Structure 1
Amino acid sequence: MTTITTRTVTYPADDLTMVGHLALPAGAGRRPAVLIGPEGVGLSDVERRRAEALAELGYVALAFDLHGGRYLGDPDAMLARCLPLLASPERLRGIGYAALDVLRAEPRADPGRTAAVGYGTGGAVALELGRDGVDLRAIATVNALTTGRPGEAARIRCPVWAGVGSEDPIMPPAQRDAFTAEMQAAGVDWRLVVYGGALHAFHHPPVGHTVRPGVGHHPRHARRAWCDVVALLAECLPVTE
């Protein structure tokens, strides 16, 4: 197996000290770089493993933090933190820019070849970076079909891939329609994959705490969604020596 290295990185954002997980591929040369944003509960071993999996594929990957090192397993605490974030594009962008600065400052990362992958609230961060005109090669978002302020989607400069469960009550068909209408009106190169029978956060392995209604793991679609994300990166951000 390819030898990768990992380290914890701390950095300021949203008046907090964020604690991210950086994974570096084998070798010494510069490689394309990927941000990975977590669900609203916050950074966990799930995203850390995804960063490491991308490093094994040759990417420099940073799983970024949302809550200053906290994991919000209580649904009420998670909503109390995330709902104000989701209502503030500026705060989402601030969290994203802070992580992006860390990623692009890494000597192994090629700052001109980056992508953003996000889940839930982390996906909203990725989309807001795109709406602010950040030079990204690809954006992938899973169950985060958030819409932006009028006209701002026209600033997105890269393909956007989105995945959602057909039975997700938090991202229902009306939200899907609003998101795709926004992308289409802005002339974005977009794709939406609807995974039949899947709930919200279908990609996330089961957790040992209470979750919101409508949340549930779907192992088969979780694997498929990961393969779709990897395929997007291979298309838009290929690893070359």
Structure 2
Amino acid sequence: MTMATRPVEYTADGLTMIGHLALPGGTDRRPAVLLGPEGVGLSDVERRRADALAEMGYVVLAFDLHGGRYLADPEEMLARCMPLLGDPDRMRGIGRAALDVLRAEPRTDPDRIAALGYGTGGAIGLELGRDGVDLRAIGTVNAVTTGRPGEAARIRCPVWAGVGSEDPIMPPAQRNAFTAEMQGAGVDWRLTVYGGALHAFHHPPVGHATVPGVDYHPRHAQRAWRDVVDLLTECLPVTQ
């Protein structure tokens, strides 16, 4: 299936964001995916994933976090992302701004949208669900974050989360808190733990400094991608 891509500019969090829009071939409306990146920001890793999903028939917007920048320096990344992760309203603002762009695309079926994200991008997807956004599915890798008390009850779609068993940033206590929140809210949830994997195990090296507790795991990266595709196939099937 042929597909096309283009950058899209929009405003969020006081910044001019530069997202990556991937469109499947044809002219009809299609189900859509809002794709969020790791805390370092939008890179070719997410762009390639967006393109792969477009090849499957989805309209995809890989959204930006840092105004067109990729924060390769760990200290700079943490200085921006840690306050962001502690502020659900800011996360929701970033997510909703990107969602507005995706919904405004004529190829998007606005009633059939899923949120998929990695790290900070996954946390934003979860916050959209906690904010009551109408989504068909939420998938998150490396982000088993919890929200404000009671707000998970607003999630109206299945939630799948994947995490490495040895991830020091999302340790067992955090995983347990996340699953307790989902279960207590009556969410249709699943958690996949990838044995031996660290944080960002899905993300191929892109040349920046190695961070303790973060490493690529090629086999589990492939498995996590298959799990993401399975979630979309179940909850947001493409009909020709």
TM tier, smaller: over 0.9
Counterpart mapping for 1:16-165 below 5 A: 16-165=15-164
Cα distance, 1:207 vs structure 2 = 2.2
Partners of 2:43 and 2:67 lie apart in 1 by 12
Cα distance, 1:209 vs structure 2 = 1.1
Cα distance, 1:211 vs structure 2 = 3.2
Alignment length (residue pairs) = 240
Partners of 2:208 and 2:114 lie apart in 1 by 31
Partners of 2:98 and 2:104 lie apart in 1 by 10
Partners of 1:238 and 1:86 lie apart in 2 by 31
Partners of 1:122 and 1:211 lie apart in 2 by 20
Partners of 1:154 and 1:212 lie apart in 2 by 35
The equivalent of 1:232 in structure 2 is 231
Q: Deviations over 1:174-225 (max 9, x none)?
A: 0000000000000000000000010000000012111321000000000000
Cα distance, 1:107 vs structure 2 = 0.2
The equivalent of 1:168 in structure 2 is 167
Partners of 2:205 and 2:170 lie apart in 1 by 20
- Gap regions ≥5 residues in structure 1: none
Cα distance, 1:132 vs structure 2 = 0.3
State, as a whole percentage, how many aligned pairs show the same letter: 81
Partners of 1:150 and 1:211 lie apart in 2 by 35
Amino acid at match of 2:79: A
Partners of 2:163 and 2:138 lie apart in 1 by 15
Partners of 1:84 and 1:17 lie apart in 2 by 19
Partners of 1:3 and 1:62 lie apart in 2 by 17
Cα distance, 1:65 vs structure 2 = 0.2
Partners of 1:109 and 1:211 lie apart in 2 by 38
Q: State the secondary structure of the residue aligned to 1:139.
A: strand
- Across the aligned residues of Structure 1 and Structure 2, the Cα RMSD in angstroms comes to 0.5
Partners of 2:235 and 2:98 lie apart in 1 by 21
Partners of 2:168 and 2:83 lie apart in 1 by 20
Cα distance, 1:149 vs structure 2 = 0.3
Partners of 1:151 and 1:230 lie apart in 2 by 29
Partners of 1:60 and 1:211 lie apart in 2 by 33
- Gap regions ≥5 residues in structure 2: none
Q: State the secondary structure of the residue aligned to 2:182.
A: helix
Q: Deviations over 1:66-92 (max 9, x none)?
A: 000000000000000000100000000
Q: State the secondary structure of the residue aligned to 2:177.
A: helix
Q: State the secondary structure of the residue aligned to 2:31.
A: strand
Amino acid at match of 1:164: V
Cα distance, 1:143 vs structure 2 = 0.6
Partners of 2:212 and 2:183 lie apart in 1 by 31
Amino acid at match of 1:3: T
Partners of 1:212 and 1:105 lie apart in 2 by 38
Partners of 2:221 and 2:35 lie apart in 1 by 16
The equivalent of 1:223 in structure 2 is 222
Cα distance, 1:22 vs structure 2 = 0.2
